[in-house]
Amino acid sequence: MKKITLSEYNSISEAYRGVWTTERWDIPDWAEMRKKHIGKRTMMVYDNGTCLLVEGLGFEIVDDSSWKKPDEVRKEIGSHYLKFYTEKGCEPHYADCVIRWNDTLETEEARIALAMDADTEKDDEIFFYCDSLNDMKSMADKGREDFTIAECIGFGTYEELL
């Protein structure tokens, strides 16, 4: 079943989304099927042809109103970075973050490396490698990878882990 956030659903043109209100007594067994359709949100999608998806049957809407917006996440990353650099006086090696998978919208903690090579002794602990702080900040937006950064917990260096 396809998952979509409430804000994504609301951004779809009203010509392609709505609420099922049409009775379909011409469909066999409509009386049994009715409760799965009437009052449910719908949306038109293109997937090997145009399809009408019905909430609860073809897609699920996840309320994202309490989630941090990408701008907030970028500011959080910058704030944690500045705090780390001010206190430690050096560049961090990694950031501990919460990521959100784009397909399932599930979250998990992950370590993201900053401007360092792969194949280090700590490679097994790294989920993803970024080239720069700006590269990491850009991951708060959907599009580039299969996940987005939903929250930044803080930065660290490998020496602290040893």
Q: Where are the beta strands (DSSP E) in the chain?
A: 2-5, 17-19, 41-46, 50-54, 59-62, 94-101, 107-114, 128-130, 147-156
Q: Average pLDDT of 124-132?
A: 87
Enclosing domain of residue 12: 2-62
Q: Of 62, 78, 93, which marks where a domain is finished?
A: 62
Q: Of 11, 29, 62, which marks where a domain is finished?
A: 62
**Token duo for residue 14:** 């009203």
pLDDT of residue 79: 96
CA distance 140 to 100: 10
CA distance 111 to 33: 46
Task: Answer whether residue 119 shows pLDDT above 80.
Answer: no
Q: What is the pLDDT of residues 55-111, one digit of tens each?
A: 999 999 999 999 999 999 999 999 999 999 999 999 999 999 999 999 899 999 999
Amino acid identity of 89? G
Number of domains in the chain: 2
Comparing 37 with 143, which gets the higher pLDDT? 37
83 and 45 in a common domain: no
